[in-house]
Amino acid sequence: MPVSSTMWKTAAILYAIAIPGHIAGGLKLIHPLLNKIPVTKKEDKVGQRSAQNCYNYVNVSLAIAGLLNWQWARTRGPQTFEEKIIYWTLLATHLAYGYRYAQVGEYSVLCVMWVAPALSLAGYQLDGPHASPIQASS
C-alpha cells in the first residue's frame, strides 16, 4: 500500500472517530447552552433550532470527509474538478475553524481540524502532480 494511501486512510479514521466525540460534546455542552436561550417569540425558537441543526450537521460533514478520504486512498487523491474543489474547501475551512478553537484554548478538536487535513494534504502531495483546483480534470 502506498504511503499516500495510509495518509488518506488515517485522515478518514480520524474523521470517523471524531463523530461520537462531537455528538457527546453537543449533548453535554452545546445543546444545554442553546436551550438556555430565552425564547419569547417564534424567531427566537427558529434561531435556537437553526444553531442546534448546524451543530448536528457537522456530524454529516465529518462522515462525508471521512468517506471521501477513504475513497481518495483508493483513487490516489481527488480526481474530478468537483472533488478537488471539495478537497480544498475542506482543507481551508478546517484550518480556519481550527484556528478559532485554538484562540479559545479548545485544543482537543485540533486532531480533526488540523491533523486530519494535514494527513490528507500529505497524501495529496505524495500522490504526485495535480491540476490546480481551479482547472478542470482531463
Q: pLDDT, tens digit, for every residue of 31-55?
A: 999 999 888 999 999 999 999 999 9
- pLDDT confidence of residue 41: 93
In a domain, 39, yes or no: yes
Mark residue 128 as left, alpha or beta (left: phi above 0; alpha: psi -120 to 50; beta: remaining).
Answer: left
Kindly state the percentage of the chain with pLDDT values over 90. 87
In a domain, 117, yes or no: yes
CA 98 to CA 50: how far, in whole Å?
A: 22
Per the structure, the complete domain to which residue 72 belongs is given by 3-126
DSSP state of 9: H
User: In 3D, which of 26, 103, 97 has the Cα closest to residue 57?
Assistant: 26
In a domain, 41, yes or no: yes
- pLDDT confidence of residue 137: 46
Number of domains in the chain: 1
- Mean pLDDT, the chain, rounded, equals 91
- pLDDT confidence of residue 130: 59
Q: CA-CA distances (angstroms) from residue 45 to 28, 33, 56, 57?
A: 20, 14, 16, 18
Question: Can you tell me the mean pLDDT for 61-70?
Answer: 97
